[in-house]
Amino acid sequence: MLSQIRHRIHNIRQTFEKASIDTLLVSIAENRMYLSGFTGQDTGFDESAGVLLISGDHLVLATDSRYEIQAQQEAEDFEVICYKKGLAKELPAILEKLGTSRLGFERRRMSVSQYDMIREQLTSVELVPVDNLCENLRECKEEVEIEAIRKSLHLAESAFSDFLENLESGMNEARAAWEIERRMREAGARSVSFPVIAAFSANAALPHAIPSERLMENSQPLLFDWGAVLNGYCSDISRTIVLGRADETFKKVFTAVYDAQQKAIEAVRPGAWTKDIDAAARNHLHEKGLDEYFGHGLGHGVGLAIHEAPSLSPVAERNVELKENMVFTIEPGVYLPDWGGVRLENMVVVRANGAEVLNSLDVKLF
């Protein structure tokens, strides 16, 4: 792990000249872990387990007393500084030691109030907002990361398979969501990647439905979306099933979504573009007269964060050229008001000869 961290530090330093900075303040939790190995968790947007300060020749992890010992154990190459008066007040002394004149900060994580507090303390250092310096490095996974994602996905799928074997007639959405989460945690997951979605019948037309007291019904769509966090890496999977006999609407929608997913997977290759992969699925749904019921993007990167680059969407800010070892979801869906919806989600990794599907759980589970 240490050699990987050092390689990542080398790579992030190579971005400094183009960004016109000499030191980088890393406050996004996933970037902090990626570059140091420190797994301290932020407990809220306005609370932090610490920051990294990376210069050309110094590595500092600044944190408070809650995480000091953990930081020393996990971030072997970093000097750990425990601030007593808060980061903003102690930052000038740290930066003076580093010889910083232009400090890059991740503006996606820093609030206006945090910026104001730091700006007030710094009189001889210029603050430079930066975007995606580390995220761009994380876009292509190392093989050890892909294996970690695969294990996280296997845990999530095994938990769901066990859930299906113990499915109780009349179970409501909230109970189903908890049963899936419980099994993942008991299998060793540190947490869930996001709140488990269990949406039955008409609620399945809500892509991010909140589990309720609605009961399972025969011949109605039952949509599940879940994932685990294992050793820091996330997984994300969706399946839609039906109890009893599937009606003609379910068969039509399911087949269209399944075929759209397959066409998108077949289009994945190095050199392809994210918007073209999205279009492969969306165009098929258009042919079936269902594209107006597919409103979200086709997929998103997954790794240390549940949503990261690249984004596969017709409205994404970046149209990204696919490269080997990118990992992302392919999750077309069709959502019909007052009936329900079908979403099928697999995770793939871009390989030299196309997409490697990481899932082992069947898509058709009815």
CATH level 3 topology of 143-357: Creatine Amidinohydrolase (3.90.230)
Nearest CA to 62 out of 24, 107, 30 is that of 24
How confident is the model over 42-63, as a mean pLDDT? 93
CATH 3.40.350.10 placement within the chain: 2-138
Q: Centre a 10 Å sphere on the Cβ of residue 342 and count the other Cβ atoms it contains.
A: 29
Model confidence pLDDT, tens digit, residues 168-204: 778 999 999 999 999 999 999 999 999 999 999 999 9
Task: Count the alpha carbons within 13 Å of 97 in the hemisphere toward its beta carbon.
Answer: 12
Tokens 């932090």 belong to 48
pLDDT for the residue 27:
96
Model confidence pLDDT, tens digit, residues 317-361: 889 999 999 999 999 999 999 999 999 999 999 999 999 999 999
CATH 3.90.230.10 placement within the chain: 143-357
Instruction: Give the gyration radius of the chain's Cα atoms.
Output: 23
Q: List, as own/partner pairs, every contact residues 70-74 make where C-beta atoms lie below 8 angstroms and the sequence separation is at least 24, other chains included.
A: 70/38, 70/39, 70/40, 71/38, 71/40, 74/36, 74/37, 74/38, 74/39
Kindly indicate the confidence band of residue 97, based on its pLDDT and cuts at 50, 70 and 90.
very high
* pTM: predicted TM-score of the whole model, two decimal places: 0.95
CATH level 3 topology of 2-138: Creatine Amidinohydrolase; Chain A, domain 1 (3.40.350)
How confident is the model over 257-281, as a mean pLDDT? 98
Model confidence pLDDT, tens digit, residues 272-328: 999 999 999 999 999 999 999 999 999 999 999 999 999 999 988 889 999 999 999
The secondary structure of the chain, three-state, reads: CHHHHHHHHHHHHCCHHHHCCCEEEECCHHHHHHHHCCCCCCCECCECCCEEEEECCCEEEEECCCCHHHHHHHCCCCEEEECCCCHHHHHHHHHHHHCCCEEEEECCCCCHHHHHHHHHHCCCCEEEEECCHHHHHHCECCHHHHHHHHHHHHHHHHHHHHHHHCCCCCCEHHHHHHHHHHHHHHCCCCEECCCCEEEEHHHHHCCCCCCCCCECCCCCEEEEEECEEECCEECCEEEEEECCCCCHHHHHHHHHHHHHHHHHHHHCCCCCEHHHHHHHHHHHHHHCCCHHHCCCCCEEECCCCCCEEEEECCCCCCCCECCCCEEEEECCEEEECCCEEEECEEEEEEECCEEEECCCCCCCCC
CB 166 within 8 A of CB 180: no
pLDDT for the residue 213:
97
Residue 57 has phi, psi (to 5 degrees) of: -140, 10
Kindly indicate the confidence band of residue 365, based on its pLDDT and cuts at 50, 70 and 90.
confident
Model confidence pLDDT, tens digit, residues 7-41: 999 999 999 999 999 999 999 999 999 999 999 99
Nearest CA to 63 out of 89, 33, 41, 83 is that of 83
